Structure 1
Amino acid sequence: MSSSSGAGNGQFETATVANGCFWGTQHIYDKHFKGRLEKTEVGYTGGKTESPSYRQVCMGTTNHAEACRITFDPAKVGYAELIEFFFRTHDPTQMNGQGPDRGTQYRSAIFYHSPEQKEIANKVMEEIKDKHPLVRQGGKIATEITEAGKWWDGEDYHQEYLDNNPGGYECPTHRLWW
């Protein structure tokens, strides 16, 4: 789904983010924005392999990120709010990993769907430098901001994984940092 305009008239936009294990990313967005998002789903983007599987992505050879695609109505929640929340819920100073999870599939990335989203993502990233405790302590932001490419849905058992498996593995960096 591509980004579209027309807030409040049934037109939705898409935000795509990656910040570690996609289970936790989807779970924390769904929990925080309950009733304000149209849909979230997990999958793979940013790599070179056609139609990758979870197993292939975890091997680290596809360069895909485990990502969360968020469909939202800009009349209910703005893109900037979704991106600030992205930074609030992980460690953006980690290169290719979050907590104990390591590899390019766990990188911190924003995949923008329009020039406006790119501009907003860069602006929010600049603004959080004074807010995020790890950045204020001297950490450098490793988050990549890149144009959204092809998306592949994650396997069915990954969708809403933590809702379907209470107590399942959740990356310790998926929490509110401020």
Structure 2
Amino acid sequence: MEVSPTHYVLKTPMEGPWPAKMKVCVLANGCFWGSEKGFWRLPGGGVYSTAVGYAAGRTPNPTYEECCSGQTGATEAVQVVYDPEKVSMVDLLRWFWESHDPTQGNGQGNDRGTQYRSALIFFDREQEELMRASKDAYEKALQAAGKGMGPRITTEIVAASDFEQPFYYAEDYHQQYLAKPGARPYCSAQPLQAASFPNRNPPSLRGFESNKYVGKEHHVGLK
């Protein structure tokens, strides 16, 4: 899939190799347009680059039409390249959980299908531990608040190494779509208006938060 060499908003490269200090994760919350915008707008300059694409599927190089057919098993996802010295994985996970309803299974709002399912793809052990700990913490927060369509979070947490290639870039017209002239301001994600880690981070997540932003209000809208 050919994409622009430069991020439309951040003016950074769209494809690697990435600077040595950067880390990569892939997150899918049922709406890759709005999700990508949320990640590139996180404050502090810690997000180096973002891209939308198709992840955790069975077939290589899927197109949008193929992904929407449900035959590829891929979900719409965002690849985030970030500087862990400026923004932590906990920061990214807080935005991920609070920007959609992770209890809806294969869907988000009126959009139904495997391409809209919630998923987290980790690239190292620390990411895996934080993803699993944050899932447990947010599930408890939702249950305490009486939020969500079901009693349990359905988000998949899988290893990048489980796939020949965990992330495939989407077509260029999807990249940074909501920042481009003429974009249709649509996002199917349905945030539950529940804080992911109320009051303070759970013990399993402490020590990983960024000094500047975790624990402070920095919610960003999709409009």
Q: Verify same fold: TM over 0.5.
A: yes
1:163 to 162, 179, 182: 179
2:159 to 147, 162, 167: 147
What CA distance in whole angstroms lies between the structure 2 residues aligned with 1:67 and 1:59?
16
TM-aligned CA distance change 1:10 to 1:50, over 3 Å: closer
Deviation at 1:35, TM superposition (A): 2.8
Q: Deviations over 1:96-129 (max 9, x none)?
A: 1111111111100001111221111001111112
Q: 1:52 aligns with which of 62, 85, 97?
A: 62
Q: TM-score, normalised by structure 2?
A: 0.70
Q: 1:86 to 1:115 in 2, by over 3 A?
A: same
- CA gap of 1:34–1:101, structure 2 versus 1, over 3 A, is farther
Residue 168 of structure 1 aligns to a residue in which SS?
coil
Please provide the CA RMSD for this pair.
Answer: 2.5
Unaligned runs of 5+ in 1: none
| CA deviations over 1:49-68 (Å, ceiling 9, x no partner) | 11111110011110001100
Q: Structure 1 residues 35, 133: CA separation in 2 closer, same or farther (over 3 Å shift)? A: farther
- Structure of higher CA gyration radius: 2
Higher strand share: 1
- Secondary structure of the structure 2 residue equivalent to 1:152: strand
Give the CA deviation at 1:175. 7.6
The verdict on how the C-alpha distance between 1:157 and 1:98 changes in structure 2, with shifts beyond 3 A counting, is same
2:114 corresponds, among 90, 93, 104, to 104
Q: Which structure carries more helix by proportion?
A: 1
Q: Percent identity?
A: 36
Quote the offset at 1:174 in angstroms. 5.2
Note if 1:76 corresponds to 2:86: yes
Shift of 1:168: 2.7
Q: What secondary structure sits across from 2:41 in the alignment?
A: helix
The count of corresponding residues between Structure 1 and Structure 2 is 173
TM-score by length of 1: 0.86
Contact 1:88 1:132 in 2 (8 A): no
2:139 is the counterpart of 1:123: no
